[in-house]
Structure 1
Amino acid sequence: MPTMPKSLFWTRTDIAGAEHVVLDGQQGLAARGVALAVDPIPYTCRYQLTVGPDWAATRLEAAAEGAGWSRSVRLERAGDGWRVRTGEEGDLDAALRAAGHAPVGLPGTDDPNRLADALDIDLGGSPLFNTLPVRRLGLSRVPADQARRVDVAWVLVPSLAVVPAEQVYTSLGPGRVRFASDTFAADLDVDPDGFVVRYPGLAERVDPR
């Protein structure tokens, strides 16, 4: 497995949790990361992400696990759409019900064609994935207050269900981007490379001193 030249670490600000990723952003993006959190139940999610030189996502492999269950999903761009494969052991829904939460159903999607318009992937709870549309759309170079709508393949965590979603990114000037989805919105602080420094209500980056 090749080494990566860059490392980023975020702490969750909404719940107990963190994310660490090693990456190479010289030709698009190659990244390996691990996220862990305690809500809705304690889980660890490991992922590998590949993004082309145009910053459109081409592949994601993610695996989530907790007590008594594990799941995996692989998304791979194929022609004009996405190929989705999944795996499951144990019973996540039983673990959720035992903790007082509603079941979430199966990982993946029963209709990959619904993802056909997605150029970006969004892994739930991960600030890394906001970088994809920020870089692909060149939001650091467009005029402030210019909104861009994007279609994404949204991977829910820890269920690893994949659903189509519409998101809006708006440049707010150097180092600031507004992210919106449905009724939710947050103004993100990003570094010159488009990586999130602060995501209000979700995470803050911890940089080496």
Structure 2
Amino acid sequence: MATMPKSLLWARTDTTGTDHVLFDDRHGLTARGVAPAVDPIPYTCRYDLATDENWAALRLEVSVEGAGWLRTLRLERASGRWRASTGEVGDLDAALAAAGAPGAGLPGTEEPDRLEAALDIDLYGAPLFNTLPVRRLGLLGAEPGQAHRLTMAFVRLPSLEVLPAEQVYTPLGGTSVRFASGRFTADLDLDPDGYVVRYPGLARRADHPPS
């Protein structure tokens, strides 16, 4: 396995959890991350992401594991079409029910054609994935105020259910980009390379003190 030359660590601010990623961004992005969290039940997410040289997503492999259960997902795009393959050991729904949490959807997607317009992947709770549209569209150097409406292949955790999600990215000037999805809006603080420093309501980089 190739070593990765760069590393970032985020602390979750919405729950107890972290996200540590090792990556290489010299020719698009190749990244491996580990993200434990406790909501709605304790789990550890491991992911492996690859984009093309223009930062459009090509492949995501994810495993999510908790006490007595494990789910896996491989999501890949080729010739403009998405394909998802999944696996499951144990019973996530039983673990959720024991914790008094709602049941999870099935991993993957039964309607991959609904993802046809997506060039980006968004993994729940993982700030790295916000960098994909920022870099792909050149938003740090874009005209402030111009909204970019995008379809994401959104991966829920811990279920690994994949859904199309409409999101809006609007450059605000400097290293700030406004993110919106439905009624939710957050102004993301980024570093000069487009990686999230502070995501209000979700996470902040461990190398930056709280503001």
| TM-score interval (norm. to shorter) | over 0.9
Among all aligned residue pairs of Structure 1 and Structure 2, give the percentage whose two residues are the same amino acid.
65
Q: Whole-Å Cα distance in 2 between the matches of residues 145 and 205 of structure 1?
A: 25
Q: Whole-Å Cα distance in 2 between the matches of residues 31 and 47 of structure 1?
A: 8
Greater than 4 Å deviation, 4+ residue runs: none
Question: Which residue number in structure 2 is paired with residue 19 of structure 1?
Answer: 19
Q: Whole-Å Cα distance in 2 between the matches of residues 75 and 17 of structure 1?
A: 24
Q: Any idea what the Cα deviations from partners look like across 1:49-108, whole Å, max 9, x if unmatched?
A: 001111100000000000111000001112121011000000001111111111113100
Q: Whole-Å Cα distance in 2 between the matches of residues 56 and 177 of structure 1?
A: 19
1:120 to 2:135 alignment: no
Question: Which residue number in structure 2 is paired with residue 155 of structure 1?
Answer: 155
1:17-166 residue pairs with structure 2 within 5 A?
A: 17-166=17-166
The one-letter amino acid paired with 1:91 is: D
The alignment of Structure 1 onto Structure 2 pairs a total of residues equal to 209
- Retained in 1: the 8 A contact 2:117–2:151? yes
Alpha-carbon shift at residue 207 of structure 1 (Å): 2.0
TM-score by length of 2: 0.97
Alpha-carbon shift at residue 42 of structure 1 (Å): 0.2
Of residues 22-31 and 100-109 in structure 1, the stretch that sits farther from structure 2 once superposed is: 100-109
The one-letter amino acid paired with 1:160 is: L
- Retained in 1: the 8 A contact 2:6–2:23? yes
TM-score by length of 1: 0.98
SS in 1 for 2:140: coil
The one-letter amino acid paired with 1:185 is: T
Alpha-carbon shift at residue 208 of structure 1 (Å): 8.6
SS in 2 for 1:140: helix
SS in 2 for 1:97: helix
The one-letter amino acid paired with 1:66 is: G
Q: Any idea what the Cα deviations from partners look like across 1:178-198, whole Å, max 9, x if unmatched?
A: 000001010000001100000
Q: Whole-Å Cα distance in 2 between the matches of residues 169 and 25 of structure 1?
A: 21
Q: Whole-Å Cα distance in 1 between the matches of residues 76 and 142 of structure 2?
A: 30
Q: What root-mean-square deviation, in Å, do the aligned CA atoms of Structure 1 and Structure 2 show?
A: 1.1
